[in-house]
Amino acid sequence: MNTACLGLVQKRFFTFAEPPHELVLESGERLGPVTIAYETLGALAPDKGNAILVVHALTGDSHVAGCYTKEDARPGWWEIMVGPGKAIDTERYFVICANVLGGCMGSTGPSSINPATGRPYGLSFPLVTIGDMVTAQKALVDHLGISRLLAVVGGSVGGMQVLAWCARYPEMVRGAIPLATTPRHSAQSIAFNEVARQAIMADPHWRGGDYYGGAKPDLGLAVARMIGHITYLSNESMRRKFGRQLRSRDALSFHFDAGFEVESYLRYQGNKFVERFDANSFLYLTKAADYFDLDDYAATGLAGAFKGSRTSFLVVAFTSDWLYPTGQSRALVQALKRNGLEVSFCEIQSDWGHDAFLLPNERLHTLVAAFLSRIFREGLAGE
């Protein structure tokens, strides 16, 4: 087994919203039944006061840590943070991670079978929001018998879910850790997502989203991933890793193959991505991220979204994150403080761009571990 893997985990499934009790979405449409894929690590305390919900970023999944089998020893996407003795210590906490509604890693999404037709939903799947994803996660948490979460933790689009949890269900969240995130997308962020979506929809194999059972829009999805991947990095990280290195050290190739190392890297990332992800899910999840705006949770704007909350926050930004720059986190912190909430904020020096929260970082590890330990002790003390 991969020595980095904390142990074996099992993907589980929770199905709810069976007709006629469908899930009512923010759009007003109804969806059911709904299945959510999830995984758990650690043991739930008798008082159920040690549960932490980890929410993944745009194209992540429920496999946050551990390995499925000894043969399939690929560790989870946040193995560096979740596990025994790590920042999110599975010897102390009960960790839950679910694949989002609209995803393609076991949760109901556009690639799922529509029970009304017996065929994949495709574009007949209703548009979902970050709020809808959180509503589905709450149904799972309720199913597990947990009335209050010690913390909700996530980065990027996962951070949006953290904020939506705090706005929708403030009484259920003791602590919140939104990392490298934003209370709303800028026009630039929406623009990048739209170009990525157009790359998929321009692929002749997309066929209006009805490509299941035939050739898939792999080229369009690969280009979409390449576009997104550029936004996750920083100029400095790309300079360090690639510079202007040529694949052939001798000379320019004078053709349109991947002559530069950075070109080869992006093509590799795009081609690997199409092996695991559904193009329609990419469309739906990027649109959900674009729609997210904390102002929508209160008539009085961003500050009003947290009115009445008693949640403690740890907000973390990274200096080289140009997708969700630090100023957006500072605006969030100001809104939280206007509500009199307990807020810790840290901007971590990093040259690795938006993806820094997914990479080993001693400062981030220390901050998260200390924050969780404090609110856990306060919970034991009855505060």
Residue 89 contacts residue 153 (beta carbons within 8 Å): no
- Of 157, 154, 116, nearest in space to 313 by CA: 154
Distance CA 353, CA 113 (A): 37
Alpha helical stretches, state H, the chain: 130-143, 157-168, 187-201, 218-232, 235-241, 261-273, 279-291, 326-338, 362-380
The alpha carbon of 330 is separated from its chain's Cα centroid by a whole number of angstroms, namely 21
Cα torsion 235, 319, 64, 26 to 10°: value is: -100
Cα torsion 203, 204, 206, 210 to 10°: value is: 170
Tokens 């909700």 map to which residue? 152
For the annotated catalytic residues, the residue numbers are: 156, 321, 354
Residue 93 contacts residue 83 (beta carbons within 8 Å): no
Distance CA 189, CA 157 (A): 12
